[in-house]
Amino acid sequence: MINSFIPEVKIIEEKVLSDNWYVLKKITFDLKTRSGEWQRQSREAYDRGNGAVILLYNTDLKTVILTRQFRIPTYVNGNATGMLIEACAGLLDKDNAEDCIRRETEEETGYKIREVKKVFEAYMSPGSVTEILYFFTAEYSKDMKVSEGGGHEDEQENIEVLEIPFTKALEMIRTGEIKDGKTIMLLQHLQINNIL
């Protein structure tokens, strides 16, 4: 059985360290531990909003739609090209998760999908980032393709749309060609649930 201890928390101070792109805060708080002792702690938290991600799949062709784009954080952390293969994703802004992912799917991949299925939600980096990500899947077919995709030009996304056999995508996890956590989670979701 999971232990049900819930600590008490008192926020002492929130200091904005950066408000350039998103918001980085230093939060000082008191935390009452399991032993009843109060501890003063300080952590930084990066708030970039919440997001949604989707994996498009075709049961007849046994393929998935992924995207490829440049990601500067991966480049500065050892990814020689900075290019990353990912499932289509975006920030919610003021939309609900389903509306967001439908919009992002059409902008990035060029597919206007009919039905989406929410499969789970997860905090992707809870030690430092506030974001919760909503995970979706959807079937696609060639007749749903309404544009080339690639993202908004004014957002400088330069997204390449990839149609990859499902078995190859799974192999690309093993070889390191796919290193994006959210994408790996969705590919494994399809595999575990025998969807493809």
**Cα 46 to Cα 19: distance, rounded to the nearest angstrom:** 10
Between the alpha carbon of residue 20 and those of residues 16, 44, 47, 150, the distances in Å are 10, 15, 12, 26
Residues 117 and 184 grouped into a single domain: yes
User: How many domains does the chain divide into?
Assistant: 2
Q: Answer whether residue 108 is part of any domain.
A: yes
Give the CATH number for residue 79: 3.90.79.10
Quick one: 179 exposed, middle or buried, by C-beta within 10 A (0-12, 13-18, 19+)? Answer: middle
Question: What residues of the chain score a pLDDT lower than 70?
Answer: 1-3, 152-157
Q: Which domain holds residue 35?
A: 8-47
Half-sphere exposure of 103 (CA within 13 A, CB side): 14
Same domain for 55 and 36? no
| pLDDT of res. 4 | 80
Give the whole-angstrom CA distance, residue 11 versus residue 27: 7
2 lies in some domain: no
Longest dimension (CA), the chain: 62
Q: Are residues 129 and 62 in the same domain?
A: yes
Specify whether 112 is located in the same domain as 21.
no
